[in-house]
Structure 1
């Protein structure tokens, strides 16, 4: 989808603003893939056509009209009105997507005031003081329009006309069969070609003997998703404290979904810690957060994200005391009903691709699994919040060594202390140090276990080495 934007104003009065507006809009990564802008002074070459014929034809074929009004009304055309008002008349006969921006001024020409009064009765307008404010307001209007256009159709099933089988990353495609849990689909690889299998799982469609990806297929398999203008990236940040003041690690990913999931997991592992306790005869490495719960949340964020929202991204924020995962698009299920009723899928085709893989268990029951995983680790349940245009899940980490798992899980790495050939008193000392933050000196060790100075020194040295 590419929208043609027509900018209308008195050129002499807004020469700087017009050029600035076009430049900034076309530099904006959230907009430039959706728009092209007609500006008379930059887009019209010498021609035998009279200027009015040119701009009238251009405004009639434009998708959106942007009108900028200041103090000057402008020279009259043969219709007895300014070019700006004429352009508005021609556009509004055919379409109704017009936006006006009025500069805050103390004085205006009489005809300008009359035109402004007419606009007040037919449309709404926004005021501005400088070119920066003008750009901000225009950008906001265009993003709102684009979002409404994109959300009017079923996003993930939409066919990408300018895609082909050549846009499929062969490594991602081959790896898909490594994460499949559906034996029937796995067996088809030797009998069906890529186009047929991708069509079967709703990742694409064959039209007039030509294969095209769906948006869902591009998200999962494309080697160049950005080419198709799909908002899909994840921003990962590790902050130093409990706020966003200091960043100590940062990464963005624009990869296909299977690679993206791996990158998020690697970022998580390098930016979270493990504590250690002694339980029975084993030394247990306790993660700051259960990786299973984090995976659930990330898969849910990707599967249920509103991909029609332009200019937003999934964020994966790690603070010193919590993790926040924020996804564009409100939850389609009320917060109080999450996990208690059947899930509502925003992206059915995308969930269908997930359905055949090891991620299938994460789609549909993710909320319950998150809660259970956190509970088993002795942590509080995740918190869920719906905002105007996004959904947030928050995980709180361990506050102290007493907040230990209720039972050992796959998240906990266990080392058998018996295999380290430790003496009973050494294991007791290790429990005290790791579980109770007790600090042993040689003297304290002698007093506790009634051993000689040399034995105490040897025992403590062995604990350090092992």
Structure 2
């Protein structure tokens, strides 16, 4: 069971704060495992509207968080909805946290001042804050304490460090509430997959209202004054068919060069204009198209070898797109393919106080400039646990027989270089689980000639004893003995008669 945290405030003027708390509860490495944000206006509209339905919703929750600023809100039975919610939280009673924005002497409406005085008379502890980051820090601290006291669960030191750093380095870009992309313009197939993954539900078990509700709850959608769902900036990057219609720098520029230097005329190039998860797939497809894939004969199989391991490519791309500086609207993520390497360039220096040495070591604690975008890529299966991508990319390259990636900072950009095999494609290693279709027990009994015979059958489709005697330089008796043993092992079978007799792989 996850703890339902009811977020209460007037909607006017506190949209940033509400969204910041939603994103905190949805992306924090500890809180996201144990909490879920609940807000009244994300509930589906009922056939018979109940002016106090918000109170019924509050009764289903476990914790109340109220945010107060200047405005009091529309009166319902003499009080604002936020005031009603606060009083009910005290009656139930629920663990209650009130956060008041601004200093004590801030000019507020008379009703708001009276509300604050009531909170003080109740002797209830409240917090003051000036920024959304400060609000997130204080709410997180209180929720962590509540979870520890109530359930004897507490975050690890790594989770705490990651959370505090992310709160202070997270970009405001992804929280933007833009009136440009309504629900009708969203790629609903991606939206459904995101929600199904985030809630551990089958794709076919959720309807559109539930999808919108969950995306709103997690900060990918917001509601305007007319209660229309629209995408936040994070939602645009993940769910818009073409995010570059709204953010020109969301395009990804890819180019392939015949040699080892950048020229004015690449051999192939493309501009990728797709939602982030699909953009990653399209860039990988471009790289596959413009790199080499020689065949290796392994046992009874022809194995296609990739010049670069796909896992390393995906990790490098995901990191570039999830952690780039989107507030820098003048630059795009670029991918350049050369004869000997691939360079993936991401705008923005390393976030926070992360050092290049720590990043290269693979021991850097997770801290995300765009936590909501990163979380969305996790839900869409393009990103695994945050903070482990560099290690996985390095291991993938080494397991492929290549050098570890090079990571550098140049012109306020992060440059990841994957060094290829050059002209020595033989250095590329096959995956450990490739057996070639021959059991280890049988493989141990095969001699070099029999392995060569199998390789020729895989390569050309069949082999004759004449080919064996001529190519391998053995007597006919030896050739016949080798093929009889391969037939006995169940690997090949004869076909045809007389001089037309040849041997093929056994189906």
User: TM-score per shorter chain, which class?
Assistant: 0.5 to 0.7
| Pairing 1:166–2:184 present | yes
Cross-structure match for 2:235 = 217
Q: Is the 8 A contact 1:300 1:362 kept in 2?
A: no
Q: Is the 8 A contact 1:202 1:353 kept in 2?
A: no
Q: Is the 8 A contact 2:453 2:468 kept in 1?
A: no
Aligned residue for 2:277, secondary structure, equals: helix
Q: Is the 8 A contact 2:194 2:376 kept in 1?
A: no
Cross-structure match for 1:425 = 449
Q: Is the 8 A contact 2:315 2:383 kept in 1?
A: no
| Pairing 1:154–2:177 present | no
Unaligned 5+ segments in structure 1 are 1-150, 435-441
TM-score when normalising by structure 2? 0.51
The one of 317, 321, 334 equivalent to 1:298 is 317
Cross-structure match for 1:267 = 286
After the TM superposition, which residues 65-80 of structure 1 pair with which residues of structure 2 at under 5 Å, given as runs?
none
Instruction: Find the aligned partners of 2:317 and 2:185 in 1 and give their Cα distance.
Output: 25
Instruction: Find the aligned partners of 2:471 and 2:195 in 1 and give their Cα distance.
Output: 61
The one of 290, 307, 325 equivalent to 2:344 is 325
Aligned residue for 1:183, secondary structure, equals: coil
**1:407 Cα shift?**
5.0
**1:385 Cα shift?**
0.6
| Pairing 1:201–2:218 present | yes
The one of 450, 453, 465 equivalent to 2:474 is 450
TM-score when normalising by structure 1? 0.55
Aligned residue for 1:250, secondary structure, equals: strand
**1:390 Cα shift?**
1.0
After the TM superposition, which residues 21-420 of structure 1 pair with which residues of structure 2 at under 5 Å, given as runs?
154-176=172-194, 180=197, 182-183=199-200, 189-190=206-207, 192-208=209-225, 209-245=227-263, 246-279=265-298, 283-332=302-351, 333-338=354-359, 339-361=362-384, 363-399=386-422, 400-405=424-429, 408=432, 415-416=436-437
Cross-structure match for 1:17 = none
Q: Is the 8 A contact 2:300 2:455 kept in 1?
A: no
**Matched residue count:** 299
Aligned residue for 2:382, secondary structure, equals: helix
Cross-structure match for 1:131 = none
Aligned residue for 2:427, secondary structure, equals: coil
Q: Deviations over 1:240-279 (max 9, x none)?
A: 1112235222111111112212211221222222233445
**1:201 Cα shift?**
2.4
Distance 1:167 1:215, change over 3 A: same
Instruction: Find the aligned partners of 1:382 and 1:401 in 2 and give their Cα distance.
Output: 18
Q: Is the 8 A contact 1:282 1:415 kept in 2?
A: yes
Distance 1:242 1:417, change over 3 A: farther
Aligned residue for 2:256, secondary structure, equals: strand
Quote the RMSD (CA, aligned, Å).
Answer: 4.0
Q: Deviations over 1:391-438 (max 9, x none)?
A: 1111112242441327526xx7x643799xx99625236779x9xxxx
**1:220 Cα shift?**
0.5
Q: Deviations over 1:112-171 (max 9, x none)?
A: xxxxxxxxxxxxxxxxxxxxxxxxxxxxxxxxxxxxxxx996111111134322331234
**1:223 Cα shift?**
3.2
Instruction: Find the aligned partners of 2:335 and 2:199 in 1 and give their Cα distance.
Output: 30
Distance 1:153 1:368, change over 3 A: closer
Distance 1:390 1:185, change over 3 A: farther
Q: Deviations over 1:287-314 (max 9, x none)?
A: 2111011011111111011111122111
Aligned residue for 1:193, secondary structure, equals: helix
Q: Is the 8 A contact 1:290 1:373 kept in 2?
A: yes
Distance 1:230 1:185, change over 3 A: farther
Distance 1:394 1:281, change over 3 A: same
Instruction: Find the aligned partners of 2:270 and 2:303 in 1 and give their Cα distance.
Output: 30
Aligned residue for 1:385, secondary structure, equals: strand
**1:368 Cα shift?**
0.4
Q: Is the 8 A contact 1:277 1:431 kept in 2?
A: no
Cross-structure match for 2:151 = none
